[in-house]
Protein backbone atom coordinates (compact mmCIF):
# COMPACT_ATOMS: atom_id res chain seq x y z
CA UNK A 1 0.00 0.00 0.00
CA UNK A 2 2.96 2.29 -0.42
CA UNK A 3 1.95 4.04 -3.62
CA UNK A 4 -1.46 5.60 -4.04
CA UNK A 5 -1.35 6.86 -7.59
CA UNK A 6 -4.70 6.92 -9.34
CA UNK A 7 -3.62 5.44 -12.63
CA UNK A 8 -6.31 5.30 -15.27
CA UNK A 9 -5.67 2.59 -17.81
CA UNK A 10 -7.45 4.57 -20.53
CA UNK A 11 -4.70 7.15 -20.45
CA UNK A 12 -2.16 6.08 -23.08
CA UNK A 13 0.56 8.28 -21.64
CA UNK A 14 0.50 6.24 -18.43
CA UNK A 15 1.38 3.04 -20.23
CA UNK A 16 4.95 1.80 -20.62
CA UNK A 17 6.25 3.00 -24.01
CA UNK A 18 6.53 -0.50 -25.52
CA UNK A 19 2.87 -1.20 -24.77
CA UNK A 20 1.65 2.19 -25.94
CA UNK A 21 3.57 1.67 -29.19
CA UNK A 22 1.69 -1.51 -30.01
CA UNK A 23 -1.61 0.31 -29.62
CA UNK A 24 -0.68 2.78 -32.33
CA UNK A 25 -1.17 1.99 -35.99
CA UNK A 26 1.70 0.06 -37.52
CA UNK A 27 2.83 0.22 -41.15
CA UNK A 28 2.26 -2.97 -43.17
CA UNK A 29 4.89 -5.62 -42.51
CA UNK A 30 7.46 -5.88 -45.35
CA UNK A 31 6.76 -9.63 -45.59
CA UNK A 32 3.29 -8.89 -46.96
CA UNK A 33 4.71 -7.53 -50.19
CA UNK A 34 6.87 -10.65 -50.63
CA UNK A 35 3.86 -12.85 -49.95
CA UNK A 36 1.78 -10.99 -52.53
CA UNK A 37 4.54 -11.35 -55.11
CA UNK A 38 4.89 -15.06 -54.30
CA UNK A 39 1.14 -15.54 -54.64
CA UNK A 40 1.39 -13.96 -58.08
CA UNK A 41 3.95 -16.60 -59.07
CA UNK A 42 7.25 -14.91 -58.21
CA UNK A 43 9.25 -17.81 -56.75
CA UNK A 44 12.23 -15.59 -55.97
CA UNK A 45 10.02 -13.63 -53.55
CA UNK A 46 9.13 -16.89 -51.83
CA UNK A 47 12.80 -17.88 -51.76
CA UNK A 48 13.51 -14.63 -49.92
CA UNK A 49 10.94 -15.61 -47.28
CA UNK A 50 12.59 -19.02 -46.91
CA UNK A 51 15.93 -17.30 -46.47
CA UNK A 52 14.50 -15.06 -43.74
CA UNK A 53 12.81 -17.72 -41.66
CA UNK A 54 14.57 -21.05 -42.26
CA UNK A 55 16.72 -20.67 -39.14
CA UNK A 56 13.73 -19.92 -36.91
CA UNK A 57 11.70 -22.80 -38.34
CA UNK A 58 14.60 -25.23 -38.08
CA UNK A 59 15.33 -24.33 -34.46
CA UNK A 60 11.69 -24.50 -33.48
CA UNK A 61 11.41 -27.96 -35.05
CA UNK A 62 14.60 -29.15 -33.42
CA UNK A 63 13.58 -27.88 -30.00
CA UNK A 64 10.26 -29.68 -30.22
CA UNK A 65 11.44 -32.94 -31.79
CA UNK A 66 14.96 -33.01 -30.27
CA UNK A 67 16.09 -34.64 -33.47
CA UNK A 68 18.24 -33.06 -36.15
CA UNK A 69 17.11 -35.17 -39.10
CA UNK A 70 13.46 -34.61 -38.22
CA UNK A 71 14.13 -30.88 -37.99
CA UNK A 72 15.66 -30.88 -41.47
CA UNK A 73 12.70 -32.75 -42.97
CA UNK A 74 10.20 -30.59 -41.13
CA UNK A 75 11.85 -27.37 -42.30
CA UNK A 76 11.50 -28.50 -45.92
CA UNK A 77 7.92 -29.65 -45.42
CA UNK A 78 6.89 -26.45 -43.65
CA UNK A 79 8.04 -24.21 -46.47
CA UNK A 80 6.62 -26.50 -49.14
CA UNK A 81 3.25 -26.59 -47.39
CA UNK A 82 3.33 -22.84 -46.90
CA UNK A 83 3.99 -22.39 -50.60
CA UNK A 84 1.06 -24.60 -51.51
CA UNK A 85 -1.28 -22.96 -49.01
CA UNK A 86 -0.14 -19.41 -49.64
CA UNK A 87 -3.63 -18.38 -50.73
CA UNK A 88 -4.90 -19.27 -47.27
CA UNK A 89 -2.61 -16.72 -45.65
CA UNK A 90 -4.80 -13.67 -45.22
CA UNK A 91 -2.37 -11.41 -43.40
CA UNK A 92 -4.33 -11.42 -40.15
CA UNK A 93 -1.20 -12.57 -38.35
CA UNK A 94 2.47 -12.11 -39.12
CA UNK A 95 3.73 -14.40 -41.87
CA UNK A 96 6.40 -15.72 -39.49
CA UNK A 97 3.75 -16.65 -36.90
CA UNK A 98 1.80 -18.47 -39.59
CA UNK A 99 4.95 -20.41 -40.53
CA UNK A 100 5.71 -21.23 -36.90
CA UNK A 101 2.21 -22.59 -36.46
CA UNK A 102 2.74 -24.95 -39.41
CA UNK A 103 6.14 -25.94 -37.95
CA UNK A 104 4.63 -26.71 -34.54
CA UNK A 105 1.94 -28.89 -36.11
CA UNK A 106 4.43 -30.76 -38.27
CA UNK A 107 6.77 -31.26 -35.31
CA UNK A 108 4.06 -32.60 -33.02
CA UNK A 109 2.92 -34.94 -35.77
CA UNK A 110 6.49 -36.22 -36.05
CA UNK A 111 6.67 -36.80 -32.30
CA UNK A 112 3.40 -38.68 -32.32
CA UNK A 113 4.64 -40.93 -35.10
CA UNK A 114 7.85 -41.68 -33.28
CA UNK A 115 6.27 -42.45 -29.92
CA UNK A 116 3.38 -44.57 -31.04
CA UNK A 117 2.30 -45.50 -27.53
CA UNK A 118 2.36 -42.04 -26.04
CA UNK A 119 0.06 -39.23 -27.03
CA UNK A 120 1.86 -35.98 -27.54
CA UNK A 121 -0.02 -32.75 -27.30
CA UNK A 122 0.26 -29.25 -26.01
CA UNK A 123 -1.87 -30.28 -23.05
CA UNK A 124 0.45 -33.02 -21.86
CA UNK A 125 1.80 -32.85 -18.33
CA UNK A 126 0.06 -29.69 -17.27
CA UNK A 127 -2.29 -31.33 -14.80
CA UNK A 128 0.28 -31.74 -12.05
CA UNK A 129 1.94 -29.06 -10.01
CA UNK A 130 5.30 -30.74 -10.46
CA UNK A 131 8.05 -28.23 -11.01
CA UNK A 132 5.90 -25.16 -10.47
CA UNK A 133 7.26 -24.46 -7.01
CA UNK A 134 10.91 -23.44 -6.68
CA UNK A 135 12.95 -25.60 -4.34
CA UNK A 136 16.49 -24.53 -5.04
CA UNK A 137 17.34 -21.10 -3.66
CA UNK A 138 21.07 -21.16 -4.23
CA UNK A 139 22.60 -18.07 -5.79
CA UNK A 140 24.47 -18.53 -9.03
CA UNK A 141 27.99 -17.44 -9.89
CA UNK A 142 28.17 -14.04 -11.63
CA UNK A 143 28.86 -15.41 -15.15
CA UNK A 144 28.19 -19.09 -14.58
CA UNK A 145 28.37 -20.10 -18.26
CA UNK A 146 32.01 -19.03 -18.40
CA UNK A 147 33.01 -22.06 -16.35
CA UNK A 148 32.16 -24.28 -19.30
CA UNK A 149 33.48 -24.57 -22.82
CA UNK A 150 31.11 -23.73 -25.68
CA UNK A 151 30.50 -27.40 -26.40
CA UNK A 152 30.01 -28.30 -22.73
CA UNK A 153 27.54 -25.44 -22.36
CA UNK A 154 25.65 -26.42 -25.50
CA UNK A 155 25.39 -29.97 -24.15
CA UNK A 156 24.09 -28.72 -20.79
CA UNK A 157 21.48 -26.50 -22.45
CA UNK A 158 20.36 -29.27 -24.82
CA UNK A 159 20.08 -31.88 -22.07
CA UNK A 160 18.23 -29.50 -19.79
CA UNK A 161 15.59 -28.38 -22.27
CA UNK A 162 15.16 -31.95 -23.57
CA UNK A 163 13.97 -32.93 -20.07
CA UNK A 164 10.91 -30.68 -20.26
CA UNK A 165 7.57 -31.97 -21.56
CA UNK A 166 7.14 -31.02 -25.26
CA UNK A 167 4.38 -28.51 -24.49
CA UNK A 168 6.57 -26.63 -22.05
CA UNK A 169 9.71 -26.56 -24.13
CA UNK A 170 7.72 -25.42 -27.16
CA UNK A 171 6.28 -22.45 -25.28
CA UNK A 172 9.71 -21.57 -23.88
CA UNK A 173 11.29 -21.86 -27.33
CA UNK A 174 8.78 -19.63 -29.06
CA UNK A 175 8.43 -17.07 -26.31
CA UNK A 176 11.92 -16.80 -24.84
CA UNK A 177 14.28 -18.05 -27.53
CA UNK A 178 12.53 -17.01 -30.72
CA UNK A 179 11.08 -13.90 -29.08
CA UNK A 180 7.47 -14.24 -30.15
CA UNK A 181 5.02 -12.22 -28.06
CA UNK A 182 2.69 -14.04 -25.66
CA UNK A 183 -0.19 -13.44 -28.09
CA UNK A 184 1.79 -14.72 -31.09
CA UNK A 185 2.84 -17.81 -29.13
CA UNK A 186 -0.79 -18.45 -28.17
CA UNK A 187 -1.84 -18.11 -31.78
CA UNK A 188 0.92 -20.38 -33.09
CA UNK A 189 0.05 -23.11 -30.59
CA UNK A 190 -3.71 -22.74 -30.59
CA UNK A 191 -3.66 -21.99 -26.85
CA UNK A 192 -5.21 -19.22 -24.79
CA UNK A 193 -3.00 -16.43 -23.46
CA UNK A 194 -3.42 -17.59 -19.81
CA UNK A 195 -2.47 -21.14 -20.88
CA UNK A 196 0.71 -19.83 -22.53
CA UNK A 197 1.57 -17.81 -19.44
CA UNK A 198 1.17 -20.75 -17.08
CA UNK A 199 3.25 -23.05 -19.29
CA UNK A 200 5.89 -20.38 -19.68
CA UNK A 201 6.16 -19.92 -15.93
CA UNK A 202 6.58 -23.64 -15.38
CA UNK A 203 9.04 -24.04 -18.23
CA UNK A 204 11.19 -21.18 -16.93
CA UNK A 205 11.10 -22.44 -13.35
CA UNK A 206 11.90 -26.01 -14.29
CA UNK A 207 14.81 -24.99 -16.50
CA UNK A 208 16.08 -22.72 -13.74
CA UNK A 209 15.90 -25.52 -11.22
CA UNK A 210 17.80 -27.91 -13.49
CA UNK A 211 20.46 -25.41 -14.54
CA UNK A 212 21.11 -24.54 -10.91
CA UNK A 213 23.11 -27.75 -10.53
CA UNK A 214 25.65 -26.42 -12.97
CA UNK A 215 25.58 -22.71 -12.25
CA UNK A 216 25.24 -22.38 -8.47
CA UNK A 217 27.91 -20.90 -6.29
CA UNK A 218 29.98 -23.53 -4.57
CA UNK A 219 29.83 -23.73 -0.79
CA UNK A 220 33.41 -22.61 -0.33
CA UNK A 221 32.67 -19.46 -2.29
CA UNK A 222 35.37 -20.35 -4.79
CA UNK A 223 34.74 -20.35 -8.54
CA UNK B 1 1.96 -10.40 -0.67
CA UNK B 2 3.51 -13.79 0.05
CA UNK B 3 5.81 -15.97 -2.08
CA UNK B 4 2.91 -17.81 -3.76
CA UNK B 5 1.24 -14.53 -4.75
CA UNK B 6 4.56 -13.29 -6.01
CA UNK B 7 5.15 -16.39 -8.10
CA UNK B 8 1.73 -16.00 -9.69
CA UNK B 9 2.81 -12.57 -10.93
CA UNK B 10 6.31 -13.60 -12.01
CA UNK B 11 5.58 -14.02 -15.73
CA UNK B 12 3.83 -10.66 -15.98
CA UNK B 13 6.61 -9.06 -13.97
CA UNK B 14 9.28 -10.40 -16.34
CA UNK B 15 7.36 -9.34 -19.38
CA UNK B 16 6.77 -5.82 -18.05
CA UNK B 17 3.04 -6.41 -18.10
CA UNK B 18 2.14 -5.34 -14.59
CA UNK B 19 0.49 -2.06 -15.42
CA UNK B 20 -1.33 -1.53 -12.14
CA UNK B 21 0.99 0.72 -10.11
CA UNK B 22 -0.19 -0.51 -6.74
CA UNK B 23 0.32 -4.15 -7.69
CA UNK B 24 3.75 -3.39 -9.11
CA UNK B 25 4.69 -1.66 -5.86
CA UNK B 26 3.60 -4.71 -3.86
CA UNK B 27 5.58 -7.02 -6.13
CA UNK B 28 8.69 -4.88 -5.75
CA UNK B 29 8.20 -4.63 -2.03
CA UNK B 30 8.07 -8.41 -1.71
CA UNK B 31 11.12 -8.73 -3.90
CA UNK B 32 13.01 -6.29 -1.69
CA UNK B 33 12.31 -8.25 1.47
CA UNK B 34 12.31 -11.89 0.34
CA UNK B 35 15.70 -13.35 -0.46
CA UNK B 36 14.25 -16.57 -1.90
CA UNK B 37 12.14 -14.75 -4.47
CA UNK B 38 15.02 -12.43 -5.27
CA UNK B 39 17.18 -15.48 -6.08
CA UNK B 40 14.38 -17.01 -8.16
CA UNK B 41 14.04 -13.80 -10.19
CA UNK B 42 17.80 -13.43 -10.73
CA UNK B 43 18.38 -17.04 -11.73
CA UNK B 44 15.27 -17.25 -13.91
CA UNK B 45 16.39 -14.13 -15.76
CA UNK B 46 19.81 -15.71 -16.16
CA UNK B 47 18.18 -18.91 -17.45
CA UNK B 48 16.40 -16.97 -20.19
CA UNK B 49 19.54 -14.98 -21.02
CA UNK B 50 21.75 -18.03 -21.30
CA UNK B 51 19.34 -19.75 -23.69
CA UNK B 52 19.00 -16.60 -25.76
CA UNK B 53 22.71 -15.98 -25.90
CA UNK B 54 23.88 -19.53 -26.59
CA UNK B 55 21.81 -21.27 -29.22
CA UNK B 56 22.47 -24.93 -28.54
CA UNK B 57 21.60 -25.94 -32.12
CA UNK B 58 23.83 -25.02 -35.00
CA UNK B 59 22.36 -23.93 -38.28
CA UNK B 60 25.30 -23.55 -40.63
CA UNK B 61 24.98 -21.68 -43.92
CA UNK B 62 25.67 -24.92 -45.80
CA UNK B 63 22.56 -26.52 -44.26
CA UNK B 64 20.48 -23.43 -44.94
CA UNK B 65 21.51 -23.49 -48.61
CA UNK B 66 20.84 -27.20 -48.98
CA UNK B 67 17.37 -27.00 -47.40
CA UNK B 68 16.48 -23.90 -49.40
CA UNK B 69 17.53 -25.53 -52.67
CA UNK B 70 15.45 -28.61 -51.88
CA UNK B 71 12.41 -26.53 -50.96
CA UNK B 72 12.61 -24.41 -54.08
CA UNK B 73 12.99 -27.47 -56.30
CA UNK B 74 9.81 -28.95 -54.80
CA UNK B 75 7.94 -25.65 -55.06
CA UNK B 76 8.91 -25.07 -58.69
CA UNK B 77 8.06 -28.67 -59.63
CA UNK B 78 4.62 -28.27 -58.07
CA UNK B 79 3.70 -25.20 -60.18
CA UNK B 80 5.04 -26.55 -63.48
CA UNK B 81 2.79 -29.60 -63.20
ZN1 LIG C 1 9.08 -14.61 -1.57
Domains and CATH numbers, chain A: 27-114 (1.10.1740.10), 118-223 (1.10.10.10)
Residue A100's φ and ψ, nearest 5 degrees, are -60, -40
A214 touches chain B (CB under 8 A): no
DSSP secondary structure of B42-67: HHHHHHHHHHHHS-SS---HHHHHHH
A9 pLDDT higher than 50: no
The whole model's pTM is what?
0.81
Cβ atoms B43, A140 nearer than 8 A: yes
**Stretch among A11-15, A61-65, A103-107 having the lowest mean pLDDT:** A11-15
Neighbours of A222 (CB within 10 A): 7
A208 pLDDT higher than 60: yes
- Tens of pLDDT, residue by residue over A118-172, are 555 555 555 555 557 898 899 999 999 999 999 999 999 999 999 998 889 999 9
A74-83, A100-109, A170-179 — which one is most confidently predicted on average? A74-83
A6 pLDDT higher than 50: no
**Stretch among A103-117, A137-151, A194-208 having the lowest mean pLDDT:** A103-117
A205 touches chain B (CB under 8 A): yes
Residue B54 is predicted with a pLDDT of: 87
**CA of residue A15 to ligand 1 center, whole Å:** 27
Domains and CATH numbers, chain B: 3-79 (1.10.10)
**H or E element that contains B14:** helix B10-14
A1 pLDDT higher than 60: no
| Higher pLDDT pick, A111 / A45 | A45
Give percent of chain A with pLDDT exceeding 70. 78
The distance of Cα A192 from the centroid of its chain, to the nearest Å, equals 15
| Higher pLDDT pick, A93 / A125 | A93
- What SS3 class is residue A216? strand
Cα A184-A187-A190 angle, rounded to 5 deg: 145
A222 pLDDT higher than 60: no
**CA of residue A175 to ligand 1 center, whole Å:** 25
Nearest to A181 by CA among A92, A71, A121, A94: A94
B20 pLDDT higher than 90: yes
Range 23-62 of A in CB contact (< 8 A) with B: 41, 43, 46-47, 50-51, 54-55, 58-59, 62
**Which residues, in sequence order, are CB contacts of B47 under 8 Å at separation 6+?**
A204, A207, A208, A211
Nearest-CB residue to B56 (from A46, A134, A157)? A157
**CA of residue B36 to ligand 1 center, whole Å:** 6
Residue A24 is predicted with a pLDDT of: 61
B70 pLDDT higher than 70: yes
Mutate to test the interface with B, among A204, A207, A209 (most CBs of B within 10 A): A204
Amino acid sequence: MAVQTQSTTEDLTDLPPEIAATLQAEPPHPDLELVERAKAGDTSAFEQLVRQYDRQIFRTAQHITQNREDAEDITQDVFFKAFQKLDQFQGNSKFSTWLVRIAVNESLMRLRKRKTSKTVSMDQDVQTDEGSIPRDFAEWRPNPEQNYSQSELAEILRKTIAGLPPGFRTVFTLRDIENLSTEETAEALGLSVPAVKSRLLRARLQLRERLSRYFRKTKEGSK
Amino acid sequence: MNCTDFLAKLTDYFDGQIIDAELLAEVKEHLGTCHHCEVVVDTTRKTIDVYRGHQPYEFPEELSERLRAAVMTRCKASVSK
